């Protein structure tokens, strides 16, 4: 668009860029071309580090395997299983996760031609058919996606100590307003 003077910023417009990177090559690109880092793991080394956080804040005494929690945080646990199954570097061994061996067996029973699509169905939105019935409250709690407020606060403080400068929170489930409000309250916002 060709704006007349005063209707848009003067060109060229400088837009800061966060680079979503993992591993040494990605980090090198982030240092060379970006203004900061977008990550899922707490780490520093950049002036601007935004960490993506998935999950839900449990009410005091709430069961991490409840229907509400599975809907709000199941996708956050499931993505670890998906990444580890696909051999994501540095993510760890799928079979070491709670029910990881069961999840793998279920995945490997699917036709190889369509398996990748089935593994990633509902990616970062909901648990898919492979995840349902395998992922319960125990894996959600163990992976840190279903925590009470005090545990979330400790986790965020640890991220800050590691060099994270901001959190990018992705709520999910049927009550997004509840997720956003509860997370913001827990974070002191």
Q: What is the 3-state secondary structure (H, E, C) of the chain?
A: CCCCCCCCCCCCCCCCCEEECCHHHHHHHHHHHCCEEEECCCCCCCCCEEEEEECEEECCCCCCCCHHHHHHHHHHHHHHHHHHHCCCCCCCCHHHCCCHHHHHHHHHCCCHHHHHHHHHCCCCCCCCCCCCCCCCHHHHHHCCCEEEHHHHHHHHHHHHHHCCCEEEEECCCCCHHHHHHHHHHHCCC
- Domain of 80, in residue numbers: 63-142
Low pLDDT (below 50) residues in the chain: none
Predicted TM-score (pTM) of the model is: 0.87
Please tell me the predicted confidence (pLDDT) of residue 92: 81
Read off the pLDDT of residues 63-98 as tens digits, 9 standing for 90 and up: 999 999 999 999 999 999 998 998 766 678 899 999
**Any domain includes 37:** no
**Any domain includes 22:** no
**Any domain includes 121:** yes
**Any domain includes 171:** no
Domain count, the chain: 1
């Amino acid at each position: 668009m060709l704006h007349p003077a005063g209707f848009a910023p003067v060109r060229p417009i400088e837009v800061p860029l966060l680079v979503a990177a993992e591993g040494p090559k990605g980090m090198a690109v982030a240092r060379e071309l970006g203004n900061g880092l977008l990550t899922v793991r707490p780490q520093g080394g950049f002036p601007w580090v935004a960490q993506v956080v998935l999950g839900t804040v449990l009410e005091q005494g709430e069961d991490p395997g409840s229907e509400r929690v599975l809907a709000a945080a199941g996708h956050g646990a499931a993505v670890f299983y998906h990444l580890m199954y696909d051999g994501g570097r540095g993510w760890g061994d799928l079979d070491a996760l709670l029910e990881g061996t069961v999840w793998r067996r279920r995945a490997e029973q699917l036709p190889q031609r369509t398996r990748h699509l089935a593994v990633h169905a509902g990616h970062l939105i909901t648990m898919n058919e492979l995840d349902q019935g395998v992922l319960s409250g125990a894996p959600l709690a163990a992976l840190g996606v279903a925590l009470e407020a005090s545990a979330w606060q400790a986790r965020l403080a640890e991220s800050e100590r590691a060099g994270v400068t901001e959190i990018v929170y992705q709520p999910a489930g049927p009550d997004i307003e509840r997720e956003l409000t509860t997370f913001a309250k827990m974070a002191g916002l």
